[in-house]
Amino acid sequence: MKSFCIKTNNQEMIEYLITTFEKLPVNFCISNYRFKIYDNVILHDIDRNEEEFCEIVAIVIKSAIERFYEREIIRKCVKQNYFYLNEMEQEYVLKISKQIMNLPDNKIGYKNKLLKNLIKKYIQENKSIVLDGFMNFRTREYKNLLENIVEVSVVSFLELTSF
């Protein structure tokens, strides 16, 4: 039996994770407890092999990261690196970035595969994940890819406005 614990303080994310896992056609035992400072979503699976379990959990965590972290990472990148653009221009860059993020994976550097593999490897080596800590310390390649997407968005925006 494989078990894994996802830790966060974001109640909306907890609800998203539980709802997503419950919708899957898999037989996970899901519990939600608060220990010390984190709310924990604890998953237990006895039906699948460890590889399958890690794959499923990684896909769900990846979707949670995309939903709850990605836009803020991109927004911070725009504000820090392209502060010379006014607010409206920054919003256009964010919109272009969002459109680029919706392109197929092979067009934007295999973002989905990269993130899923980072998470899956972490799940295979650990019994729990603190999502904020994971995002701060384990996702450098992913954040670099997002920064490249923002850079492409800025170049596209500047080309559009230079007419």
pLDDT in tens, 100-115: 998 887 777 788 899 9
Task: Give the per-residue pLDDT at 107.
Answer: 76
Helix (H) / strand (E) containing 14:
helix 11-23
d(CA 93, CA 112): 21
Residue 42, C-beta contacts closer than 8 angstroms, at least 6 positions apart? 3, 4, 5, 6, 30, 31, 32, 33
Average pLDDT, rounded, for the chain: 93
Band (92; pLDDT cuts 50, 70, 90): very high
* φ/ψ of residue 138, rounded to 5: -125, 5
Tokens 């965590």 found at: 61
* φ/ψ of residue 116, rounded to 5: -60, -40
pLDDT over threshold 90, residue 119: yes
Task: Give the per-residue pLDDT at 93.
Answer: 96
What is the signed CA dihedral for 37, 60, 2, 25, rounded to 10 degrees? Answer: 130
Task: Give the per-residue pLDDT at 154.
Answer: 95
Range of the domain at 122: 2-161
pLDDT over threshold 70, residue 163: no
pLDDT over threshold 90, residue 126: yes
Quote the pTM value.
0.92
Query: Which two three-digit tokens encode residue 63?
Result: 């979707």
Helix (H) / strand (E) containing 74:
helix 71-81
pLDDT over threshold 70, residue 70: yes
Q: How many domains does the chain have?
A: 1
